[in-house]
């Protein structure tokens, strides 16, 4: 197989030097150039176009987001964001992900040289995933139809305590990784306020999940927020597992809530989709819908199989609409997927819950 050609765009000479040296030592990766800002980068790229760009977001002359938008409009190319781990940087990086970047690597503010050496394997994996990504412009989400209200909008229906113990609300568990930020934005912005409660694992570093949830909350009709320990899962709310923590679905009587816990990485990830899906199988059983979406690797495949065996509706995003058809493919291999559907069909399945 031919080498993956990489361009590094970062205003730090240390970052450019260390990344070039670290990546050049890996078989299958060729650093064809580096540049201090996007304008220098474009001049070099026009002579030899890279397969993947490693891009900082805060740079002189042209910021990374403007450069990314220009790239996606003129010549879509996989981009890995390499950003400083700060609250401000997290919000900026989320804007870059929404513009089409496929992965995030975080840089600390101190001891940068050693970190970049230690993080080489993580970056190599991100570059390999990005090289496989199908970069495409997502369709605009369909306008959400106004909810058809019933008398429930004014007062609750009569119920007995025994009915409450026998039935529970539907809950939807979503798992995704590479390409998931755009895919989740498409799905969640298409949902009306009246929809099942949703729990989500998106592979993403610490601090970035809060900025991601805040961005989605500003775009969506439903409430979207980073999960906190003990949060209730209720209709019209989506909870996103915080980076660096696992999220488990729990049930108390007829109510769902989440536990946010520490622990080792599962399937090499924290948060892990497998952990969320297994807990959903145990807590919700046939009242749940599990959806595995675009991403590299196999996290979530075994957990989705457990949901399937518990009677849940299990859905996999199809290859044509995935940025990376990795996680759904692995779930399909385990016969964990009841039905494969396109990204555009996912909102309707969330609302219907049909088998």
The per-residue pLDDT for range 179-216, each reduced to its tens digit, is: 999 999 999 999 999 999 999 999 988 888 998 999 99
Choosing from 22, 34, 83, 177, which is the catalytic residue?
A: 177
Q: How many CA atoms lie within 13 A of 185 on its CB side?
A: 19
pLDDT over 60 (residue 311): yes
Q: Is 299 among the residues known to form the active site?
A: yes
CATH 3.40.50.2300, the chain: domain bounds: 4-132
Give me 101's structure tokens: 């970047």
Distance in angstroms between the alpha carbons of the first and the last residue of the chain: 41
Choosing from 37, 274, 298, 299, which is the catalytic residue?
A: 299
Strands 232-233 and 255-261: antiparallel
CATH 3.40.50.180, the chain: domain bounds: 151-352
The mean pLDDT of 52-79, rounded to a whole number, is 89
Choosing from 203, 246, 269, 279, which is the catalytic residue?
A: 203
**CATH 3.40.50.2300 assigned to 4-132:** yes
Q: What is the tens place of the pLDDT at every residue in 231-284? A: 999 999 999 999 999 999 999 888 999 999 998 989 889 999 999 999 999 999
pTM (predicted TM-score): 0.80
Own/partner pairs, 248-255, CB within 8 angstroms, 24+ separation: 248/275, 248/276, 248/279, 249/171, 249/173, 249/199, 249/276, 249/279, 249/280, 249/283, 249/284, 250/279, 250/283, 251/168, 251/283, 251/284, 253/164, 253/165, 254/164, 254/165, 254/167, 254/168, 254/169, 255/168
Q: Is 246 among the residues known to form the active site?
A: no
Q: Is 203 among the residues known to form the active site?
A: yes
pLDDT at 1: 67
- pLDDT top residue among 88 and 329: 329
Q: What is the tens place of the pLDDT at every residue in 77-119? A: 999 998 776 556 677 778 888 888 888 888 766 677 777 777 7
pLDDT over 80 (residue 167): no
Residues of the chain with pLDDT > 90, as a percent, come to 61
Fold annotation for 151-352: Rossmann fold (3.40.50)
Give me 91's structure tokens: 């919000």
Alpha-carbon span 109 to 111, nearest angstrom: 7
Q: What is the tens place of the pLDDT at every residue in 171-180? A: 999 999 989 9
Highest averaged pLDDT of the listed ranges 15-29, 63-77, 91-105, 316-330: 316-330
């Amino acid at each position: 197989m031919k080498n993956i050609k990489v361009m590094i765009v970062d205003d730090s000479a240390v970052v450019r030097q260390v990344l070039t040296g670290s990546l050049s030592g890996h078989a299958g990766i060729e650093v064809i150039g580096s540049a201090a800002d996007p304008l220098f980068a474009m001049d070099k790229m026009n002579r030899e176009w890279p397969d993947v760009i490693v891009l900082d977001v805060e740079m002189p002359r042209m910021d990374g987001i403007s450069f990314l938008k220009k790239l996606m409009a003129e010549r879509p190319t996989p981009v890995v964001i390499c950003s400083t781990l700060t609250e401000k940087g997290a919000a900026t990086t989320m804007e870059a992900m929404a513009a089409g970047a496929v992965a995030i690597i975080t840089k600390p503010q101190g001891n940068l040289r050693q970190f970049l050496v230690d993080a080489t394997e993580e970056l190599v994996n991100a570059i390999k995933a990005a090289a496989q990504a199908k970069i495409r412009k997502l369709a605009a989400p369909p306008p959400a139809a106004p909810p058809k209200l019933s008398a429930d909008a004014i007062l609750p229906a009569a119920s007995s305590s025994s009915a409450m113990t026998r039935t529970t609300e539907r809950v939807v568990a979503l798992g995704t990784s590479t390409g998931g930020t755009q895919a989740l934005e498409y799905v969640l912005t298409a949902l009306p306020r009246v929809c099942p409660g949703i729990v989500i694992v998106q592979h993403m570093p610490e601090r970035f999940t809060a900025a991601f949830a805040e961005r989605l909350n500003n775009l969506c009709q439903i409430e979207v927020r980073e999960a906190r320990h003990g949060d209730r899962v209720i209709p019209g709310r989506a909870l996103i597992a915080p980076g660096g923590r696992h999220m488990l679905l729990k049930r108390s009587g007829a109510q769902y809530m989440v536990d946010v816990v520490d622990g080792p990485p599962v399937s090499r990830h924290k948060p892990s989709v497998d952990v969320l899906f297994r807990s959903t199988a145990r807590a919700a059983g046939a009242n749940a819908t599990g959806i595995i979406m675009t991403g590299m690797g196999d996290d979530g495949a075994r957990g989705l199989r457990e949901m399937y065996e518990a009677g849940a509706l299990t859905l996999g995003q199809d290859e044509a609409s995935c940025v990376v058809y990795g996680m759904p493919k692995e779930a399909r291999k385990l016969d964990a997927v009841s039905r494969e559907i396109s990204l555009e069909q996912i909102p309707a399945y969330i609302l219907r819950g049909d088998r």
